[in-house]
Every structure is written in structure tokens, then in C-alpha cells.
Amino acid sequence: MPMYRFAAVGEEETVFGFRALGVDVFIVGREDDAASVLQEARKGGYAGIFVTEQVAKAVPDVIEGFGGAPLPAVLIIPGVGGSLGLASQRMKKIVEKAVGADILFQERG
Amino acid sequence: MSPTRMQLLRLKKRLAMAERGHKLLKDKRDELMKRFLDLIKKEQALRGRVEAGLGRALPAFLQARAAMSGEALEEAFMAPKVSCGVDVSTTTIMNVRVPEFTWRGEKASDIYPYGFHGTSASLDDAVAGLAELLPMMAELAEVEKSIELLADEIEKTRRRVNALEYVLIPNLRSTARYITMKLDEMERGNLTRLMKVKDIVRAKQA
């Protein structure tokens, strides 16, 4: 069975550390590049792509586009500045779509 | 649709089928929902741990970077020692294919891709912290992906259940009722006609 690797996409100061652990790092210099860098990472055949919140925020539609296929799995990670709660927002949206109502995240607003 | 007995029979068969399908789909939806909620709970727990862990590891990297020169850092990371990755297989949850990651990274004690000379201690902490987090992140990625895929399926199933419950089944019912009434009406009309004919025949005989 082939081993699938992971990639990290984001600003340099957040993702550079992943390189030490054998995660492929794609650096997004400017927000405008986010979409193209993400697409490039997608072509790499990774099991999962860690995307920082800043990048995810810039190109939410690209992230959505990853939804249908089984791979890669996209994981939104908080940047150096701490979590913006983007990942739970995304989950909340998914739950709302599935259930038709917000049943889980009320307490978090 | 012509109100005949044949049509009525056919309708009743369709109705029975639709009701059976509705029940099955409803069961499917409920089970999907149960799995979905389990996954969500798991996701929330994992997400909390991963974010807390990253909240510690990432600033540590920043610190290390501040303490070291750019070239030294570049050099330190030049040749990663551990290769991390996962085996991907797919399982199915209620006929939805979801990926399953099996973590395949060496849990080596020697994860540092550099010598200790010339690197700051906070770099070691950061690397160690991140190494611990990665398997969890892989699991979180798998869980979130599964949630996403399940959500699609739940939505589809929910739509089908609703279509059956609120459109198809009521439609079939009302058509069946219409035909039954029409048939009854014809039956009554026939009866009156017969009685009338009988009266006329009797009047002629007398």
C-alpha cells in the first residue's frame, strides 16, 4: 500500500516548522497566490492538506471545492496568532447543510 | 388518469412500494444521523486538542526562529529525518465511502533532523510538540473529511425522504381516493339506472 503524505499550505511563519517533520510545505506569500498554491498542492496527491486560517479565509470557495472527492482531506489550522474559529465555522456550516438546522453549535454562536 | 379498477390496483401497488421505500430511507437517515453525531463529537474533542497543541508549538517555532539565524534554520531543516504519512484505505459508513488513515510515521526518539549544535532549545521543543500533534492532525483530517462526505449523503437522503413523505405519497393517496370515489359513483349510477330500467320494464308488463 502506498504511503500518502501531508502538505501544509500557509504563511511562512506558520508552516515552516512542518518541514522538520517531513510534511511538504507550500508557502503562500501574498493572499492573491493562495488559490494557485492550493491547486498546486492539490495536484500533489496528498492524503491531507493543512491550510492555515489566513489562507482559508482568503479563498473559501477553493476549500469548498475540495469537498466532494475523498482525497485530499483539508484541515484548517490556526495561524500563529491563535484560532479565529474558522474551522468550527466550517463544521457548523456542514452540519447545518446536512441537518437543516443548527443543532450542535448554538452555545458557541 | 382514467378511473378504472386496473389503475386503482396499480396505484395501490405503487403506494405500498413508496411507503416501504419511505420507511427504509427514514431508517437510513436516522442511522446516518447517529454516525454523523458521533463523528461530530469526536471532531470537537480532537479539534480542541489540536488547536491547543498548535497554539503551543507554533509560537515555539517563532521563538526558535527569532533566536537563530535564517541560514542556520534553513540548514537545520534541510534533510528531514522522519517521513510522515498515512496509509489510506476506504471504509464505508452506510454505503458512503470515507477515507481511513492509518498513521505511518516512525515514533523515533530521534526526530530532530539536525544536530544540537547551533540550534536553539526552543526549536527542539517546537519540533517535538509538532511531532506529537501530527498523528492527531491526521486523525482530525480524516474525521472532518468523513463528516463532510456524510453530510452530503444525509442531505440527499433527507431530500428523498421529504419528497416521498410530502409529495409522492400524498399524491398517490389523493389519486387513489379520487378513483375510489369515481368508481363508487359509477356503481351508484349503474344501480339507479338498473332500477329505472326495471321500473320501465315492469310498467310495460302491467
Tens digits of residue pLDDT in B15-30: 999 999 999 999 999 9
In tens, the pLDDT along A63-96 reads 777 766 777 888 888 877 666 777 778 888 888 8
Share of chain B above pLDDT 70, in %: 87
Q: How many Cα atoms are found within 13 Å in the side-chain-facing hemisphere of A71?
A: 20
Mean pLDDT of A23-36: 80
In a domain, A109, yes or no: no
Q: Where is pLDDT greater, at A73 or B122? A: A73
Is there a contact between A71 and A4 (Cβ–Cβ < 8 Å)?
yes
Q: Is residue A92 in some structural domain?
A: no
- Greatest extent of chain A over all pairs of C-alpha atoms, in Å: 43
Size of interface A-B (CB pairs under 8 A): 150
Mean pLDDT of chain B: 85
Average pLDDT value over all residues in chain A: 78
Sheet with B86-93: list strands edge to edge: A3-4, B86-93, B96-103
Tell me, what CATH number does A54's domain have?
3.40.50.10580
Q: Which CATH class is domain B5-197?
A: mainly alpha
Name which of B88, B112, B140 is nearest A75 (Cβ-Cβ). B140
In a domain, A71, yes or no: yes
Q: Which residues of A touch B88 (CB under 8 A)?
A: 1, 4, 47, 71
A38 occurs within a structural domain: yes
Q: Which residues pair with A52 in a beta bridge?
A: A77
Contacts A47 to B, Cβ<8 Å: 85-86, 88, 99, 101, 138, 141
Selecting from B37, B51, B89 the residue whose C-beta is nearest the C-beta of A83 gives B51
**Confidence tier at B116 by pLDDT (50, 70, 90):** low
Assess if residue A54 is contained within a domain. yes
Q: Please give the pLDDT value at position A108.
A: 46
The per-residue pLDDT for B19 is 96
Determine contact: B47 vs chain A, CB below 8 A: yes
Judge whether A101 lies within some domain.
no
- pLDDT tens profile B132-169: 888 888 888 888 888 888 888 899 999 999 999 999 99
- A104 confidence band (pLDDT: 50, 70, 90): low
A18 domain residue, yes or no: yes
Is A73 within 8 Å of B43 when comparing Cβ atoms?
no
Which positions ≥6 away from B85 have C-beta within 8 Å?
A: A3, A4, A5, A6, A22, A47, B104, B105
Query: Do A80 and B58 count as a contact with CB atoms less than 8 A apart?
Result: yes
Residue from B62, B65, B71, B86 to probe the interface with A (highest A Cβ count within 10 Å): B86
Question: Shortest Cα distance from B174 to chain A (angstroms)?
Answer: 28
- Run of H or E residues at B118: none
B118/chain A closest Cα distance in angstroms: 16
- How many domains would you assign to chain A? 1
Q: DSSP secondary structure string, B138-162? A: HHHHHHHHHHHHHHHHHHHHHHHHH
Range of the domain at A53: 6-82
